[in-house]
């Protein structure tokens, strides 16, 4: 009985190791990129380096745009490199929202690394960590 349990444990351990990614990106202190925020006219705010920020966070720009426009309760458009928001929003507001987004949708809650991706299974969304293998529910995205 004990021998069978040891064998089962070893098989489960080997299966777990097989599911871990082969290579994890080098880890350096992760920082959210600084947004280049500009006011255009009286009623528009533009993030000039929006695509660059989304790329650095390894997230779809449309997902990031949807989050920001929802949090700011305004309309927004993405034109390929920059995001345009209806209304005036300061640098600090956008910076804080990017930090919140990063905490919720980028950084693994278990190992605190940014090596994650968003996966969908049926109607549920998960944050799948490629570094430690953790999987966390993130609600709707």
Q: Are 113 and 101 within one domain?
A: no
| pLDDT by 10s per residue, the chain, length 141 | 455 566 688 888 888 878 776 666 555 567 788 999 999 988 999 999 999 999 999 999 999 999 999 999 999 999 989 999 999 999 999 999 999 999 999 998 888 888 899 988 888 889 998 888 888 888 765
Assess if residue 29 is contained within a domain.
Answer: no
Assess if residue 49 is contained within a domain.
Answer: yes
Q: Are 79 and 64 within one domain?
A: yes
Give the global pTM.
0.75
With beta carbons less than 8 A apart as the criterion, state whether 76 and 67 touch: no
What's the pLDDT score for residue 101? 93
* Domain containing residue 78: 34-106
Into how many domains does the chain fold? 2
Assess if residue 54 is contained within a domain.
Answer: yes
Q: Are 49 and 97 within one domain?
A: yes
What's the pLDDT score for residue 138? 86
Q: Which of 113, 87, 91, 101 shows the shortest CA–CA distance to 21?
A: 113
118 forms bridges with which residues in the sheet? 127
Could you please report the per-residue DSSP string of the chain? -HHHHHHHHHHHHHHHHHHS-S--PPP----PPPP-EEEETTTEEEETTHHHHHHHHT--HHHHHHHHHHHHTS-EEE-SS-EEEES---HHHHHHHHHHHHHHHTS-TTT--S-EEEEEETTEEEEEETTT--EEE----
Assess if residue 81 is contained within a domain.
Answer: yes
Q: Are 42 and 53 within one domain?
A: yes
CATH number, position 84: 3.30.70.3150
Assess if residue 6 is contained within a domain.
Answer: no
């Amino acid at each position: 009985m004990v021998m069978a349990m040891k064998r089962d444990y070893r098989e489960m351990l080997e299966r777990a190791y097989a599911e871990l990614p082969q290579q994890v990106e080098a880890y350096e202190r992760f920082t959210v990129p600084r947004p280049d925020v500009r006011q255009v006219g009286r009623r528009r705010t533009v993030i000039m380096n929006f695509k660059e920020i989304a790329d650095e966070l390894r997230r779809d720009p449309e997902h990031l745009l949807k989050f920001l426009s929802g949090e700011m309760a305004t309309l927004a458009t993405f034109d390929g490199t920059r995001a345009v928001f209806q209304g005036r929003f300061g640098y600090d507001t956008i910076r804080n929202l990017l930090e919140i987004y990063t905490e919720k949708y980028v950084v693994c809650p278990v190992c605190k690394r940014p090596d994650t991706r968003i996966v969908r299974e049926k109607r549920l969304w998960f944050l799948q960590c490629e570094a430690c293998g953790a999987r966390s529910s993130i609600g709707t995205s």
